[in-house]
A and B are shown apart, each in its own frame.
Chain A
Amino acid sequence: MSLAAGYVLGLAAALFAVGAVGVLVRRSAVVMFMCVELMLNSVNLTLVTFSRVNGDVEGQVLAFFVIVVAAAEVTVGLALIVNLFRLRVSTDADQVDVLRA
């Protein structure tokens, strides 16, 4: 009736890998941000999958929490990126290294 959990988990893992690699290799702050969202949602997918497998709604509840927190995080993150762009006329994350020791 339903998809085997393994396929869904495999998709989640693939999404996570894509997100992680994206964060590591892309320099644009916006794309990195999107990749972070991808990773978050792959985790959400994993949570929902295990919730279904175990017949326990706790995992789904946790996924909602993640969505809510992600929404807040998007607000803050986008605001940061906008301000960064105003400051540097660029969103290149590698140029923002003022915290280098």
Chain B
Amino acid sequence: MMAVSALAQASIVTAPAGSPAAWAWLLPVVPALSAGVLLLGGRRLGRGAGWLAVAISAITLGMAGWLVTWLAARPPGQRRVTHTVADWISAGELEVGWAVLVDPLSAAMLLLVTGVGTLIHLYSIGYMAGDERFSRFFGYLNLFLAAMLVLVLGESLLVLFVGWELVGLCSYLLIGFWFDERPNASAAKKAFVVNRVGDVGFLVAMFVVFGAVGSLSLTQVLPAADTVAGGLVVAVGVLLLLGATGKSAQIPLYVWLPDAMAGPTPVSALIHAATMVTAGVYLVARMSPWYAQVPGVGMLVAAIGAATALVAALIACAQLDLKRILAYSTISQLGYMFMAVGVGAYGAGVFHLLTHGFFKALLFLAAGAVMHAMGEHTDIRVMGGLARAMPVTAVTAGLATLAIAGFPLTAGFFSKERILAATADTDGGAALLVVGLIAAALTAFYMARWFWLIFMGRPRWGRGAAPIPADAGRSTAPPPPRDLHPHEAGWTMAVPLVLLAVGSAAGGLLTVGAEHGLLAQWLAPSVVAFESSAHLIGHGLLQAIAITLALAGLAAGAWRYRAGPVATSPASAPVVGFARDAFRVDALLRAAVVTPGRWLAEGAVWVDTHVIDGAVNGAARLTRGLAQGGRQLQTGLVRGYALAVLVGAVVVLVLLARTNLTAAVFGALGAP
């Protein structure tokens, strides 16, 4: 362990002129321009719009590859370079430039985003074929790519935040892509609003950082961590964590991600599994020097991650929608990443981020292929036996299932083992380790259930389909679809599946080599190294336990659902129903947040209509009433006016007659 920590973080230097890093700013600009073209004039391109987007995405992948090759050729101590393209804000002490930071961490993210992004662009050509807003979809995807690259490359926290908000926008646009159906539109709104809560934390964290350091540039912020007062570091750590829980769907802000499945499936794969939702993990890893100062906050991060991993895994066991299972699985796996970065194993967290990017994207793409084959049915109870009709999808999805379950030698096995080992080497990590192991077993169970109910067993669709056992709780089993002829999708959808399957199977290669593997060495200049503070359990024993639990979970899932869905026994029905309703968190939130908010809004409306409008309308009514009285005097009759004048004159004279003045006048006259 100490050997790794000897690889200290490298300082950030300016990129040599003309080097690839000095051109890295083109990475987000190219897809952004393409997004503009596609959104403004994409309709005329027809199917070409999709191919343009794929080409642009492939170009960014090539550029990222070129950049990373160049970076890898430099000595490790000089692998963190920055390049300023233009000034943005210059106000007093605040100086923010459009600058990129290319370092091993952002390079790893670049390859993931552009690589998985390109595959999903390709897949989308097949998946979205025939959609009436085909070109707009690809415009949004390219825009997302640009936004994610801004997030990853941003050298200033503010630029990073710009990317952070732009990916949120793209997420909103793509969740609500089929906005003509109300649930989709409200799912998009929910994602946006819940993320806003986290963004407040991020914003305030930036204020604190600027107040403490006087700059938002990572070049200055990162090394300043040990000079800032401890309380401020804690504040920044907690506030950034709030932001990260929003974007990465952790407790308490995870509720938007399951609903985000309303979007097209490639979106779920790209944004809500592989890339955007990992931004919170990326942020914590990026700020690792700050989190390393306050291990207590780190433990909070890890505790939130562990709780999320367990809760989401439990919920996933009871879900019936094939995409919602994967959504809760994503939340759970993100919890693992939070556990890793929380205990200071940033390398392990990023490793799981990368491998998860492969196998979860693959699972979603396979789910999309299944949905296509099943005529957009998503209830896993009406599936079964699809492996015969869709062998490629079944085999690749099976590989991904093994990978996420932690089957030995798959990518997920290595990355999850790395995280569990890190918790085992952390003082006070025993609870994290136990929760992590339980969640690992649950993951294997619900993924086996997912795979088995979809691909194995007897078909529960088509003409001779057996009736589906009625289920507990409120949900009743849907009738099996009758007229279905599932078949494999075209090559544009198959190629990404196969390539991602290769990644899911071989991702573990990133850990071969000396000193904790290639990836750990590669990331060492960027993140604070993990420091072991305890040794709760031998790594060999831990590995044996993890493998046993994974195999047991897989076997239990496959055995229980070997013959299709199982009717819930009356005794367990309340528990299953509770988990199927996602622990009624949505209902709780509605009661605790949404309803009081509505009351507040209705109260404000009442004040507006009664007090404020009342004052305005009251003033008008008073004026009107006075005027009504005045109107009555205006009869239009000349003689009436004449009488009024006469009466007035007499009154004035009488009043005058009572004064000394008139007495004097009359006296002077000597009137008779």
A and B form one complex: yes
Distance, CA A87 to CA B630, complexed state (A) = 29
The answer to whether B636 and A97 touch across the interface, beta carbons within 8 angstroms, is yes
A97 in contact with B642 given A6-B671, A6-B672, A53-B669 (CB within 8 Å): no
Contacts of A25 in B (CB 8 A): 639
A24 in contact with B634 given A6-B671, A6-B672, A93-B639 (CB within 8 Å): no
Distance, CA A96 to CA B646, complexed state (A) = 20
Contacts of B638 in A (CB 8 A): 32, 93, 96
Q: Does B658 contact A (CB under 8 A)?
A: no
Q: Does A27 contact B (CB under 8 A)?
A: yes
* Chain A, Cβ-Cβ closest to B650: A20
CB proximity to A under 8 Å, residues B615-636: 630-636
Contacts of A98 in B (CB 8 A): 636
Distance, CA A101 to CA B639, complexed state (A) = 16
CB proximity to B under 8 Å, residues A1-48: 4, 6, 20, 23-25, 27, 32
Contacts of B672 in A (CB 8 A): 4, 6
B632 shortest CB reach to chain A, Å:
7
* Chain B, Cβ-Cβ closest to A7: B672
Annotate A81-98 by CB proximity to B: 1 below 8 A, 0 otherwise.
000000000000110111
Query: Could you give 30 example pairs across A and B, Cβ below 8 Å?
Result: A4-B672, A6-B672, A23-B639, A23-B642, A24-B639, A24-B642, A24-B643, A24-B646, A25-B639, A27-B639, A32-B638, A50-B669, A53-B669, A93-B638, A94-B637, A94-B639, A96-B636, A96-B638, A97-B635, A97-B636, A97-B637, A99-B636, A100-B634, A100-B635, A101-B630, A101-B631, A101-B632, A101-B633, A101-B634, A101-B636
B603 shortest CB reach to chain A, Å:
43
Contacts of A99 in B (CB 8 A): 634, 636
- The interface on chain A, measured as residues whose beta carbon lies within 8 A of the other chain's beta carbons, has a size of 18
A49 shortest CB reach to chain B, Å:
11
A47 shortest CB reach to chain B, Å:
14
Contacts of A6 in B (CB 8 A): 671-672
- Does more than half of chain A's interface fall in helix, strand or loop, or is it mixed? helix
User: Which listed residue, B634, B637, B646, B671, touches A20 by the CB 8 Å rule?
Assistant: B646
Distance, CA A68 to CA B520, complexed state (A) = 114
Contacts of A97 in B (CB 8 A): 635-637
A3 shortest CB reach to chain B, Å:
13
Q: Please tell me the size bucket of the interface on B.
A: 10 to 19
* Chain A, Cβ-Cβ closest to B649: A20
A93 in contact with B634 given A6-B672, A24-B646 (CB within 8 Å): no
Contacts of B642 in A (CB 8 A): 23-24, 32
* Chain A, Cβ-Cβ closest to B646: A20
A100 in contact with B646 given A6-B671, A6-B672, A53-B669 (CB within 8 Å): no
- Complex A-B, nearest 4 residue pairs according to Cβ-Cβ distance, in ascending order: A97-B636, A100-B636, A101-B631, A101-B634
B191 shortest CB reach to chain A, Å:
61
Distance, CA A27 to CA B638, complexed state (A) = 9
B651 shortest CB reach to chain A, Å:
15
Distance, CA A94 to CA B525, complexed state (A) = 103
Distance, CA A20 to CA B671, complexed state (A) = 24
Distance, CA A7 to CA B398, complexed state (A) = 131
* Chain A, Cβ-Cβ closest to B642: A23
* Chain A, Cβ-Cβ closest to B670: A53
Contacts of B646 in A (CB 8 A): 20, 24
Having A94-B637, A97-B637, one finds 9 other A-B pairs with CB under 8 Å, namely A4-B672, A23-B642, A50-B669, A94-B639, A96-B636, A97-B635, A100-B635, A100-B636, A100-B637
Contacts of A24 in B (CB 8 A): 639, 642-643, 646
Distance, CA A93 to CA B631, complexed state (A) = 20
B623 shortest CB reach to chain A, Å:
15
B626 shortest CB reach to chain A, Å:
13
Contacts of B630 in A (CB 8 A): 101
CB proximity to B under 8 Å, residues A57-101: 93-94, 96-101
Distance, CA A71 to CA B646, complexed state (A) = 23
CB proximity to A under 8 Å, residues B645-672: 646, 669, 671-672
* Chain A, Cβ-Cβ closest to B630: A101
Residue of B630, B643, B669 with most partner-chain A CB within 10 A = B669
* Chain B, Cβ-Cβ closest to A35: B642
Distance, CA A25 to CA B646, complexed state (A) = 13
Distance, CA A14 to CA B64, complexed state (A) = 114
